[in-house]
Structure 1
């Protein structure tokens, strides 16, 4: 149990709301040498007019996405706290919460894509979604690699 709590504290930090954004920013900066907004801005290559239309939509998206990320952090913390005594009911609760988080994240990205398509065009909106999904998968992969599967630590103790 201490192993999983330590791993989650390293990945997510003790102060989830501030640390999550900091860890995400650090991960992106480590991967690309830039902040996320700089990566997005550079990749999209928008004109000044397009960027002016893009920025408030992006800022709103990031604010909502970060709020959703807090839900994911709570799910991971709950998993860590219940890992060693995980029951069928708790496993179902955590799975349902995680699936809802994934659905809500997809809905937010779809809503943002729709707004961006109107504001900066379909190709630029698609480029944003493509980049955002890439960054999300990269970050989720880092987190997932640090979290043991159900029963994994128990199996390691037996060997």
Structure 2
């Protein structure tokens, strides 16, 4: 887990020097976690060879869903940025509804993935996977939130 956290910290440190916008940051994260993330998971999960093929199939399904949810988040952040100067109660309600829906979708994905993985690997191993995913998700969210200005008072 220590190597995992250090790798994540290095990815975050490198992030500001390469990105100019939220979209750029997400592209870097998706590249880092779409490619290197599997290595991070491999190094931390130590899945038994007899279960590895089934585990990695579930992992790929999870990753495809996670990326789709991430794209919804980015679209919502983009809408936030485009409307920032002209928020209305209606536009902010739509943006907040989308943000909350994305979070629910992510939580639901974790729950369904945990349930499926618990049948393939042990519940402890499945929990370890979900815990790592939650850490990554929260790290990504934090990096994004630091780039998004708070809502000014609506007039």
TM-score by length of 2: 0.80
> Retained in 2: the 8 A contact 1:12–1:20?
yes
Highest RCO, 1 vs 2 (Cα 8 Å, sep ≥ 6)? 1
Provide the alpha-carbon RMSD of the alignment: 2.1
Q: Distance in 2 between matches of 1:36 and 1:86?
A: 36
2:21 to 6, 10, 20: 10
2:30 to 24, 30, 41: 24
**Structure 1 unmatched ranges of 5 or more:** 1-7, 14-18, 153-159
User: Is 1:110 aligned to 2:111, yes or no?
Assistant: yes
Q: Distance in 1 between matches of 2:58 and 2:27?
A: 19
CA drift at 1:105: 0.8
> Which residue is equivalent to 1:85?
86
Pairs aligned (count) = 135
Can you list the C-alpha shifts for 1:48-101, whole angstroms capped at 9, x where unaligned?
Answer: 122222100000010011111111111000000000000111111100110011
TM-score by length of 1: 0.78
SS in 1 for 2:21: helix
